[in-house]
Structure 1
Amino acid sequence: MTPEELSAAIATCLQEAADAGELTVPAEALPKELRVERPKSREHGDWATNIALQLAKPAGMAPRRIAEVLQGRLAEIPGVSKVDVAGPGFLNITVDAAAAGELAKAIIESGAAYGTNRGMAGTRINLEFVSANPTGPIHLGGTRWAAVGDSLARIFQTQGADVTREYYFNDHGNQIDRFARSLLASAKGEPAPEDGYGGAYIEDIAKEVTAGCPGILEAEDPQEEFRARGVALMFASIRESLHEFGVDFDVYFHENSLFEDGAVEKLLEQLKASGNLYAKDGAWWLNSTDYGDDKDRVVIKSDGHAAYIAGDIAYFKNKRDRGFDLCIYMLGADHHGYVARLKAAAAAMGDDANRVEVLIGQMVNLVKDGVPLRMSKRAGTVVTMEDLVEIVGTDAARYSLARFSSDSNIDIDLDVLTKRSNENPVFYVQYAHARTRAVGRNAAAAGVERTAFDASALSHATESELLAVLGQYPGVLTQAAAFREPHRVARHLEVIAGAYHRWYDACRVTPMGEEPITDVNRTRLWLNDAVGQVLANGLSLLGVSAPERM
């Protein structure tokens, strides 16, 4: 019995109890879908639901009384062996071995779709992440967002959401000017400007620009030439690095376009007309404190130039005009102020501030031999995506960055990530998948096939544990999407891998020696392959390969 089947059965029991007059719940309060979860202790059953507590207020009944009404009806469902009422009204449900074992077959039949649902269907999400300035290689913070953002997009899609991955291309402002001056200085053989950029990559790009345009230093405005050509080359390098990291974007949005097509000017006039911009000290200010910000923000500076927030507001409006219901910004640790600022800007435009979400990612440190790595061979100042991938590979890099909550600082021990042992979490999960494939090959060689299936044969304690954690997987995906936390998927894959390794040690798929092949062997092969399917599904969401052999 899958969680979905049990949830549907409980919903049916509720409706039948209401129709029979046993519960006085208004029709609109009856849930069409409800969640069942694994209790913390298996002594409390296989599944639990708090639906009785949720319905107490609309029903005008004590939650325990609602639970007791449902208890009698649930106990009659085929496959349910026991229903207990606990505490103020929790329902703990135990299913028989056969009902639990059916999950193995259901997973195989669902394949790559196992764990997915349509809970977010109809929601259009614009997910903006990385958006590193095209003035240098992607550093570790951007690399973390590449891993987390792409995984989150994939998880949203498992819930039926329509997701657009977007990269905000910062090609407007002072940092681009500093980048161009740095390239020009390198081409002339001069040291980098005091506020410029250093590192071997500046020299490489300057040489590439000069090779492609030999007379560039004699041009009327060589700095502008280096700006245009250098930014194009740097951004092409960034896109290639991301692609090799398994991250591709649907939209590359150019910040400069907001200024070139007059979107910023038009928006500012709109805000002035709405009364949400006011003049003070020769500048124009957004009354963002009226909408929850800690201070009003300068939108047009006293010199007449637009402040950075002007582009941010115009960019949000552009996203909404493109039809996105939810705009999620994944920003670095130094952007905490943007949370209230962007929500206030949305509200000032008459939009719903809840259509803006800002996720803040914290710092990443690489540690080798107990010492933090600080310098890059290429960038000179910070460790980059290429540095991390070169040391541990894409799989380990993506997995290690996605398995931690993004709002926490993390130290990644490179010595652990390069080990081929259970101490290395990505190896631990990938090895479990590879082991399921090895078991499958051995079974085929021994003549064991997935023909007969006897769910009641999966009665060993390790099989009950394994089925339990496989059954939790769809709920983990739902929670990962709801809380914007891909690390929940990684951590649960490690739980599944642990349960699988324990089962592997206790239960054989292939018979020993001359023992005959039985339905127990065949049914265990279904379970083995179900584990492989779920591990492959989960690793795919993290952008990590599921190897056949290791």
Structure 2
Amino acid sequence: MTPVELSRAVLHAVRCAVDDGELSVTVPERVVVSEPGPGGCGDFATTVALQLARPAGQPPRRVAEILRGRLVGAEGVRDVVVTGAGFLNISLEDQVDPVAGLVREIREKGARYGHGDALAGQVVALRVPYEVRAEVVADAVVRLVAAQGGRATVEHGEPANLRPVPAPEDPAPLGADAAQWALLHPAPHDRPRITADHLVQREGNPLFRVRYAHARVRSVSRNAGRLGFAAEPGPSGGTKTALFTPLADHPRILAGAAIHRAPDRLARHLVTVADAVLPLLPSVLPVGEEKPSAAHRARLALAEAAGTVLAGGLSLLGIDAPEHL
């Protein structure tokens, strides 16, 4: 069971509880599952019971117990434990490795991983002023909406419903990719910085880190090929990598960026993915006389999954994902 599948299972439990009259709430569009926090247990946890408690007019732990009863019998779920104020901690069947399952899902879907149907059949009408940042943001929103099954139209004039803080100057001298990033990475209410900082190749530049991480993943894949081994999703040994959560969160981030017309959410998320994958890369290739093992193949598959997410996210932002940097 992948995180997306588990999220759907939790959502199904909520819907069934509502249909049977145990909960009187509006069923949310989606449920977030993540790694258990301090005091938690199992493979995943969700705060959905705490979120539904107030509208349901019931204590969070009571809501959690209602949902627990429906989740325990779900396919692929071994146990569900309620902790704290009402956190649902979910353990999957022993033979299911969540990291390997997630990597397989990303490999199967490729650049379309995270695309969904949150806006299926909807037409999002964007009205923007004649200003470069508004144009660039609208262009990115069009792609994000399409990735969620909808269609966005763009018109100019007033009253505008997409009006980020304008760029203080022409970003064109930065070049296409850096200009896109300079206008999309800040939140809409923040003033973008049109400076040469976006061009420097060092860790302090978020765009450099994202593009460098993708290029490093591609380099590691090429070197693995020269050593005669390829990526193969495998057991994580029960240890959750820091990369797991941002990769599992990618579908939720994409949906939120589309629904709220906020490509900055995706840009910041890509920085998180890059910062999580870079520490993994030194352990992907064998060292010295070491022979490639199942662990090396599994780490390579995980790194390549991150590279897929980085490339797909950059493409939605209209930015090139380099093979070399």
Could you give the per-residue CA deviations for residues 14-59 of structure 1, whole angstroms, max 9, x where no partner exists? 566689x7x6347xx684953124379466463313146527756x
Task: State the aligned residue count.
Answer: 321
Quick one: which amino acid aligns to residue 151 of structure 2?
D
**Is the 1:430–1:546 Cα contact (8 Å) retained in structure 2?**
yes
Distance 1:361 1:9 in 2: 37
Tell me whether 1:49 sits opposite 2:47 in the alignment.
yes
Deviation of the 1:469 alpha carbon? 0.9
**Is the 1:153–1:163 Cα contact (8 Å) retained in structure 2?**
yes
Distance 1:15 1:400 in 2: 42
Distance 2:127 2:18 in 1: 45
- Structure 1 runs (4+) greater than 6 angstroms displaced: 15-19
> Structure 1 residues 116 and 546, CA, compared in 2 at 3 Å: closer, same or farther?
same
Quick one: which amino acid aligns to residue 475 of structure 1?
R
Deviation of the 1:144 alpha carbon? 1.4
The corresponding residue for 1:209 is none
Quick one: which amino acid aligns to residue 233 of structure 2?
F
The structure whose residues are more often helix, as a share, is: 1
**Is the 1:437–1:532 Cα contact (8 Å) retained in structure 2?**
yes
Identical aligned residues as a percent: 34
Could you give the per-residue CA deviations for residues 157-187 of structure 1, whole angstroms, max 9, x where no partner exists? 111111223356xxxxxxxxxxxxxxxxxxx
Tell me whether 1:531 sits opposite 2:313 in the alignment.
no
Could you give the per-residue CA deviations for residues 515-542 of structure 1, whole angstroms, max 9, x where no partner exists? 3322222222211111111001110111
Tell me whether 1:64 sits opposite 2:53 in the alignment.
no
Q: CA RMSD in A?
A: 3.0
Within-5 A mapping of 1:79-118: 80=77, 83-93=80-90, 98-118=97-117
Distance 1:425 1:8 in 2: 33
Equivalent residue for 1:359, pick from 145, 154, 162: 162
The corresponding residue for 1:542 is 317
Deviation of the 1:491 alpha carbon? 0.5
**Is the 1:53–1:90 Cα contact (8 Å) retained in structure 2?**
no
> Structure 1 residues 18 and 418, CA, compared in 2 at 3 Å: closer, same or farther?
closer
Deviation of the 1:485 alpha carbon? 1.4
Unpaired runs of at least 5, structure 1:
133-141, 169-311, 313-328, 331-357, 366-382
Within-5 A mapping of 1:3-402: 3-14=3-14, 24-25=22-23, 31=27, 34-38=30-34, 41=37, 44=40, 46-51=44-49, 53-54=51-52, 62-75=59-72, 77=74, 80=77, 83-93=80-90, 98-130=97-129, 132=130, 142-167=131-156, 330=160, 358-365=161-168, 383-384=169-170, 388-390=171-173, 392-402=174-184
Distance 2:295 2:179 in 1: 40
Distance 1:53 1:405 in 2: 26
DSSP-derived class of the 2:254 partner: helix
Between 524-533 and 476-485, report the one with greater CA deviation: 476-485
> Structure 1 residues 81 and 503, CA, compared in 2 at 3 Å: closer, same or farther?
farther
Distance 1:30 1:542 in 2: 33
Deviation of the 1:101 alpha carbon? 2.7
Could you give the per-residue CA deviations for residues 211-247 of structure 1, whole angstroms, max 9, x where no partner exists? xxxxxxxxxxxxxxxxxxxxxxxxxxxxxxxxxxxxx
**Is the 2:15–2:27 Cα contact (8 Å) retained in structure 1?**
no
Distance 2:65 2:290 in 1: 49
Equivalent residue for 1:429, pick from 201, 206, 210: 210
> Structure 1 residues 81 and 101, CA, compared in 2 at 3 Å: closer, same or farther?
farther
**Is the 1:458–1:523 Cα contact (8 Å) retained in structure 2?**
no
**Is the 1:101–1:467 Cα contact (8 Å) retained in structure 2?**
no
TM-score by length of 2: 0.85
Quick one: which amino acid aligns to residue 111 of structure 1?
G
Deviation of the 1:112 alpha carbon? 1.7
**Is the 2:210–2:310 Cα contact (8 Å) retained in structure 1?**
yes
> Structure 1 residues 418 and 11, CA, compared in 2 at 3 Å: closer, same or farther?
closer
Could you give the per-residue CA deviations for residues 50-87 of structure 1, whole angstroms, max 9, x where no partner exists? 146527756x7544223123325534556556644345
Distance 1:33 1:430 in 2: 32
The corresponding residue for 2:255 is 478
Distance 1:458 1:538 in 2: 29
Could you give the per-residue CA deviations for residues 437-460 of structure 1, whole angstroms, max 9, x where no partner exists? 00110111111123x532x23645
DSSP-derived class of the 1:24 partner: coil
Deviation of the 1:470 alpha carbon? 0.4
Distance 1:422 1:92 in 2: 36
> Structure 1 residues 32 and 493, CA, compared in 2 at 3 Å: closer, same or farther?
closer
Quick one: which amino acid aligns to residue 6 of structure 1?
L
Distance 1:521 1:143 in 2: 46
Distance 2:222 2:27 in 1: 45
Quick one: which amino acid aligns to residue 172 of structure 2?
V
**Is the 2:7–2:33 Cα contact (8 Å) retained in structure 1?**
no
Quick one: which amino acid aligns to residue 395 of structure 1?
D
Distance 1:42 1:429 in 2: 29
> Structure 1 residues 13 and 35, CA, compared in 2 at 3 Å: closer, same or farther?
closer
Tell me whether 1:493 sits opposite 2:270 in the alignment.
yes
Distance 2:256 2:34 in 1: 14
Distance 2:102 2:154 in 1: 34
DSSP-derived class of the 1:517 partner: coil
Between 157-166 and 60-69, report the one with greater CA deviation: 60-69
Unpaired runs of at least 5, structure 2:
none
Deviation of the 1:106 alpha carbon? 0.4
> Structure 1 residues 73 and 515, CA, compared in 2 at 3 Å: closer, same or farther?
farther
